[in-house]
Amino acid sequence: MLSNRIGIVLVTALAPAIWGTTYLVTTEFLPPDRPLLAGVVRALPAGLLLVALTRRLPRGVWWWRASVLGALNIGAFFALLFVAAYRLPGGVAATLGALQPLLVAGLAAGLLGERLTLRTTLAALAGVAGVSLLVLRADARLDGLGVAAAVGGAAVMATGVVLSKRWTSPAPLLATTGWQLVAGGLLLLPVALLVEGPPPATLSAANLAGYGYLAIVGAALAYTLWFRGIRALSPTGVTFLGLLSPLVATALGWLALGQELTAAQILGGLVVLAALVVAQTSRRARPRRPVAGRVAVSGTSQRASSIN
């Protein structure tokens, strides 16, 4: 049972590791200054492909649930990430985004009945500290709107993660993932056209390869693994794995782009890994007993995780 759980954790960790390659792919293969277009191309074709493969459309309440989850996990998250990236240094945006495990832990306590333990809280704060050492620079400037967008991005995805656990779809995983990608891509499409205008008239082979990688690997594969992890594990434990994204991005910048790796960054990477290990090895907490007048949450939503 333990080995099975470790296997699920490792496979789920591939998703944020893949997302950590996005910075390299975007800077080296995609047209400049088109982050919203990248978001649309990443989500919409991948979602349509999964829907076509499964040949399943939402039924009943899943029409609006898939739209809400797609907006939270993909559409609104990408849009807020775009605002934060343009108004803040990348290190500040990434550090604020690292608040997500703490936010998920709080939401899971309220919506799923998980215990918010001191160990989880300390691991989440250590994760934020580790990411700040990894990516934050001393001359980083703050912008009110950018900070609000970064925190908002972490909050909407945290909400999406918890609701993805609370709303377990009866449809196959690939179909549910496809619905969310389509919903998120359709939400982003008019925003991208309004802000960035129509797509470039010509695209190079490198551009097409980059967009293809983001759609097939960065969206269809990665989000399927991510949502599979949410179904099988605690949402708090899963969201801690998201700290791997800035770690992988930093490592690729050093390995592939020749960027300098400082002692502080190495320390930050070790702190992030320690926070991940602590989160994933915490003892599984029991769900809180429902109090009078409160309906107990049933099924898998009631199980507390050792972490996250």
Q: What is the DSSP letter of 171?
A: S
Helix, strand, coil share of the chain (percent; to 5): 75, 0, 25
Q: Is 89 within the bounds of a domain?
A: yes
Which of 22-26, 53-57, 162-166, 269-273 has the weakest average pLDDT?
22-26
- pLDDT band for 303, please (50, 70, 90 cuts): very low
Neighbouring CB atoms inside 10 A of 170's CB total 9
Neighbouring CB atoms inside 10 A of 21's CB total 19
Q: Is 28 within the bounds of a domain?
A: yes
pLDDT of residue 296: 36
Q: Is 308 within the bounds of a domain?
A: no
Q: Is 307 within the bounds of a domain?
A: no
- pLDDT band for 209, please (50, 70, 90 cuts): very high
| pTM greater than 0.85 | yes
Q: How many structural domains is the chain composed of?
A: 1
Q: Is 183 within the bounds of a domain?
A: yes
Q: Is the pLDDT of residue 69 over 90?
A: yes
For residue range 278-287, what is the model confidence (pLDDT) as tens digits?
A: 998 865 444 4
Measured CA to CA, the distance from residue 71 to residue 54 in angstroms comes to: 21
Q: Residue 62's closest CA among 157, 182, 158?
A: 182
Q: Is 105 within the bounds of a domain?
A: yes
Q: Is 162 within the bounds of a domain?
A: yes
Query: Residues near 204 by Cβ (< 8 Å), separated by ≥ 6?
Result: none
Q: Is 118 within the bounds of a domain?
A: yes
Q: Which domain holds residue 59?
A: 2-285+295-302
Measured CA to CA, the distance from residue 79 to residue 153 in angstroms comes to: 8
Both structure tokens of 275: 């926070």
Measured CA to CA, the distance from residue 135 to residue 157 in angstroms comes to: 21
